[in-house]
Amino acid sequence: MKVIVQKYGGSSVADPERIKNVANRIARKVRDGFKLVVVVSAMGKTTDQLIALAKSVSDRPDERELDMLLTTGEQVSCALVAMALKDLGIRAISLNAFQAKILTTRHHTNARILDISLSHLKEYLKDHDVLVITGFQGVTEDGHYTTLGRGGSDTSAVALAAKLKCDCEIYSDVPGVYSCDPKLVNRPKKWPYITYDDMLELAATGAKVLHSRAVEIAKKYGVKIYCGSSFTEEEGTWVVDRLPEWLEEPVVTGVSLERNQVKVTITDLTNDAAIVSDIFKRVADRGINVDMISLVKNGERTHVSFTVVPDKLDGIKELLDDTLSDYGAKYHFFGSFAKITVVGTGMRSSYGVASKLLEILSGEGIEPEIVTTSEIKISVLVPEEHAQKLVEKICYAFSLVEE
């Protein structure tokens, strides 16, 4: 039995015509001899609309109830795709997370998959050629629905592929993985192959082709991912462990941009690593993600800066008000900034990427607020109003656009 997992994003199932198009694509694969597990997102902007609806009745919607609401979006598209397939004579069935036994943690709105019942999937595949499964959602051991966070349908699909030990095809309105978002730069390069490491860094720093947790699972279990468009037959991109030997590895693979960043600076902390550790532990305990951490010692005092997104500011403010009173320190918010990240596994064996990047910023008269680096990425925090122009210049400087 040849099995493959496919995932279709919200734009691919945004209206009845697009749903029929997806059904035809799936049917062709069935006729080629495959059995499919198909993961679908909610139609178009349904999730955004449901969130807005929740906020119209509650300023701070209860997370458990919000998950109950949001899971309805995927159930609608899931059932409609199954209906369209049955009209084509395909033996299909729609399944929600409860029926597919996708077990998750209890963290509402940001749960993690713990297990998927392989025996249930195999049982359904005996009598059906296509299982259409709701993405983005799971169920706890005690039967409560959860959601996996934005972009979670990618995670659902790759987790299913890992369980079934097969490839995963991710379809959206973008025909592959580019060196930069085509909405930011004209004619960015499209890669035929990209490594898990490069894709993971790009996804984690703002690239919207794949969700970072999906790439993490793919890397851990060796799931090959194909990223393509549901609207064309244009060749897409394979996400793999390593590039084919015949393909030259670029020094820089991509540039990503995350807008709407706020810098938080804590000043006048005593030089004590335990204090800094305690502050970030309390932040983590609140479920708040921080980024681009910078620590500077000045004599007997320590100053710490990090970035957060604006919707976490209330939580950070409340936490710092409670925490810093214990240490006699102060904090300030600064914004708005954007984070630009240059990514490339080729940086491991090449020099000069950081100097070239800082030279570009200097040429525009911009001094970065924070710089963070790893073996294969460099991130800079810059004023948001300059971000677009800087991304364009960086892409041209590193030959990431088509000639």
State the binding site for substrate: 47, 74
**Under DSSP, is residue 130 helix (H, G, I), strand (E, B) or coil?**
strand
Domain count of the chain?
2
219 in any annotated domain: no
The average pLDDT across 169-197 equals 94
pLDDT of residue 376: 93
238 in any annotated domain: no
Same domain, 161 and 292: no
282 in any annotated domain: yes
pLDDT of residue 50: 96
Which of these three, 173, 196, 226, is where a domain ends?
A: 173
244 in any annotated domain: no
240 in any annotated domain: no
State the binding site for ATP: 7-10, 178, 208-209
The average pLDDT across 136-143 equals 96
Same domain, 166 and 261: no
Same domain, 23 and 154: yes
Same domain, 140 and 15: yes
First-to-final CA distance of the chain: 44
State the binding site: 7-10, 47, 74, 178, 208-209
Q: What is the pLDDT of residues 33-62, one digit of tens each?
A: 999 999 999 999 999 999 999 999 999 999
- Residue 294, pLDDT above cutoff 80: yes
Which CA distances in Å does 45 have to 11, 73, 244, 311? 8, 10, 37, 20
Same domain, 260 and 147: no
Write the DSSP string, 9-60: -GGGGSSHHHHHHHHHHHHHHHHTTEEEEEEE--STTHHHHHHHHHHHH-SS
**CATH number for position 107:** 3.40.1160.10
Percent of the chain having pLDDT more than 70? 100
Q: What is the pLDDT of residues 76-110, one digit of tens each?
A: 999 999 999 999 999 999 999 999 999 999 999 99
Amino acid letter, residue 370:
I
User: By the 8 A CB rule, do 8 and 22 touch?
Assistant: yes
Which of these three, 173, 207, 239, is where a domain ends?
A: 173
Which of these three, 173, 201, 216, is where a domain ends?
A: 173
- Residue 206, pLDDT above cutoff 80: no
pLDDT classification of 284: cutoffs 50, 70, 90: confident
Same domain, 266 and 154: no
Percent of the chain having pLDDT more than 90? 77
pLDDT of residue 200: 93
In this predicted structure, which of 11-25, 218-232, 288-302, 349-363 has the lowest mean pLDDT?
A: 288-302
Q: Which domain holds residue 88?
A: 2-173
Same domain, 270 and 377: yes
pLDDT of residue 311: 80
**CATH number for position 263:** 3.30.2130.10
pLDDT of residue 309: 86
pLDDT of residue 264: 93
Same domain, 261 and 126: no
pLDDT of residue 323: 83
269 in any annotated domain: yes
pLDDT of residue 151: 82
Average of per-residue pLDDT values in the chain:
93
pLDDT classification of 300: cutoffs 50, 70, 90: confident
pLDDT of residue 153: 95
The alpha helices in 132-250, defined as continuous H runs, are: 152-164, 196-204, 212-221
The average pLDDT across 138-144 equals 96
- Residue 182, pLDDT above cutoff 80: yes
Smallest CA-to-CA distance from 236 within 246, 250, 226, 244 is with 226
Phi, psi of 254 (to 5 degrees): -165, 165
pLDDT classification of 301: cutoffs 50, 70, 90: confident
78 in any annotated domain: yes
- Residue 207, pLDDT above cutoff 80: no
332 in any annotated domain: yes
Same domain, 159 and 24: yes
pLDDT classification of 169: cutoffs 50, 70, 90: very high
Same domain, 169 and 269: no
Q: What is the pLDDT of residues 330-384, one digit of tens each?
A: 899 998 899 999 999 989 888 889 999 999 999 999 999 999 999 999 999 999 9
Smallest CA-to-CA distance from 379 within 212, 203, 256, 197 is with 256
Same domain, 263 and 168: no
**Under DSSP, is residue 352 helix (H, G, I), strand (E, B) or coil?**
coil
- Virtual CA dihedral for 144, 151, 315, 57, nearest 10 degrees? -60
Read off the pTM. 0.88
Same domain, 160 and 270: no
Q: Describe the strand order of the beta sheet including 254-270 as a list of residue ranges.
A: 291-298, 301-308, 254-270, 330-343, 377-383, 370-374
pLDDT of residue 324: 85
pLDDT classification of 130: cutoffs 50, 70, 90: very high
